[in-house]
Amino acid sequence: MRRLVSAAVLLVVFGGPSWAGAQTSSDLAIWKEFVQLLKTDALTVDRIHRDDIRTPESRLASLKEWTKDADWAEWEATPKVVRHGDLVSFIIRIGESRKSPWEYIVCFVVEDGRWFYRFLEGIFIRLDQVGALPAEASSFPDLPEERKHWIRQETYWSKMVWLYNEMTRLKGKEYALSLFRDGAGYALAATVWVPFFPSHRSFILFLCWEQAKLQGNKVVLEKLDDREAIVRFDDHQYFALYQQTSHLKEQIALGDYIGIFEALWSDRAKAAGWNLEIDGQGRQIYLRFSRDPSASR
């Protein structure tokens, strides 16, 4: 099951959220009604809260799409409940049947005795457990490294998509793409940070390290010699973001989003003396580099 359906939200709860206390019975009634409506495809747009830049219609459609193959037995299990004023959050663990268990948070607001769905998220920070504020807020809960990678990538590419759209509006698409062509700097970084090999080899090795260790991608170097290099990405976060965060789909067409990736890597390869073909095969993306070994680099 896909892990995210919206922008990564940081769950910051100041004050004293309640755990499974006096409000548990009424809060669990919200959860049971929500799951039943979702399960029977009876959830309507009037139960979607409007505190979001996305339309209620698009959020409802995204939620239904995300849960169309749900294991409802997992959803019907009793969730953890966090209540803070009119905000009610339910933490559920789903994906066991697919051998990919993950904790999600589903958030609601209660207004005039009626609940409204806000969002579902796969990354949330348990700052509700910090303790009395501010006196005890000197250390903070952490997240697994892969989730922090996701937060960094989503924050960065959401901003870059905004920049691309704004520059396209002001100066056209080609100018917007030029802002992503950082090949000269990237190739120089590869040369100075991996100084042990000719520049073209340093570039490939740095690419693998940078993508794996700085960006958190799954990288496999399948081939490297003076004529050819093949780098494989499995479930590259750049494309996973587009599939799993609904706000990006609403902001940029897939073709333009792919175009940014192609412009970025083609310029980097060129600066390092390589030709590049990008070959996408489902969840695997191949960067296929080739060069004339008699070239000066």
Identify whether residues 190 and 256 lie together within a single domain.
yes
Token duo for residue 66 = 């995300």
59 lies in a domain?
Answer: yes
CB neighbourhood size of 164 (10 A): 23
Per-residue pLDDT of 94-117, as tens digits, reads: 888 777 788 899 999 999 999 999
Token duo for residue 161 = 């998509």
Residue type, 1: M
CA within 13 Å, CB half, 151:
16
Domain count, the chain: 2
Per-residue pLDDT of 247-281, as tens digits, reads: 898 899 999 999 999 999 999 999 999 999 999 87
Identify whether residues 174 and 283 lie together within a single domain.
yes
Bridge-partner residues for 281, per DSSP?
284
Among 110, 142, 174, residue at a domain's last position = 142
Q: What pLDDT is attached to residue 297?
A: 47
13 lies in a domain?
Answer: no
Q: What pLDDT is attached to residue 289?
A: 98
CB under 8 A, 24+ apart: contacts of 269-275: 269/183, 269/203, 270/183, 271/183, 271/184, 271/186, 271/187, 272/183, 272/186, 272/187, 272/190, 272/199, 272/200, 272/203, 272/297, 273/199, 273/200, 273/203, 273/297, 274/200, 274/203, 274/204, 274/229
pLDDT of 18 higher than 90: no
8 Å CB contact between 24 and 80: no
Q: Which residue range forms the structural domain that includes residue 110?
A: 18-142
More confident site: 19 or 145: 145
Which domain CATH number covers 229?
3.30.1380
Identify whether residues 36 and 81 lie together within a single domain.
yes
Identify whether residues 124 and 201 lie together within a single domain.
no
pTM above 0.95, yes or no: no
8 Å CB contact between 67 and 61: no
Q: What pLDDT is attached to residue 10?
A: 33
Among positive and negative, which fits the CA dihedral 265, 270, 272, 276? positive
Q: What pLDDT is attached to residue 205?
A: 97
Identify whether residues 164 and 230 lie together within a single domain.
yes
Measured CA to CA, the distance from residue 69 to residue 85 in angstroms comes to 33
On average, the pLDDT of the chain sits at 86
What is the percent of the chain with per-residue pLDDT over 70, rounded to a whole number? 88
Among positive and negative, which fits the CA dihedral 170, 171, 175, 179? negative
Q: Could you give phi then psi for residue 122, rounded to 5 degrees?
A: -100, -5
8 Å CB contact between 106 and 89: yes
Per-residue pLDDT of 219-231, as tens digits, reads: 999 999 999 999 9
Per-residue pLDDT of 155-189, as tens digits, reads: 999 999 999 999 999 999 999 999 999 999 999 99
pLDDT of 129 higher than 80: no
Identify whether residues 94 and 183 lie together within a single domain.
no
Among 75, 108, 142, residue at a domain's last position = 142
DSSP string, 10-32: -----S--EESSTTHHHHHHHHH
CB neighbourhood size of 111 (10 A): 10
Which domain CATH number covers 120?
3.10.450
Identify whether residues 132 and 182 lie together within a single domain.
no
Confidence of residue 133 (pLDDT cuts 50, 70, 90): low
Q: What pLDDT is attached to residue 138?
A: 65
Identify whether residues 165 and 105 lie together within a single domain.
no
Q: What pLDDT is attached to residue 11?
A: 35
pLDDT of 53 higher than 70: yes
Among 107, 142, 177, residue at a domain's last position = 142
Measured CA to CA, the distance from residue 290 to residue 259 in angstroms comes to 21
Q: What pLDDT is attached to residue 131?
A: 67
Identify whether residues 67 and 154 lie together within a single domain.
no
CA within 13 Å, CB half, 283:
7
Identify whether residues 165 and 281 lie together within a single domain.
yes
8 Å CB contact between 117 and 49: yes
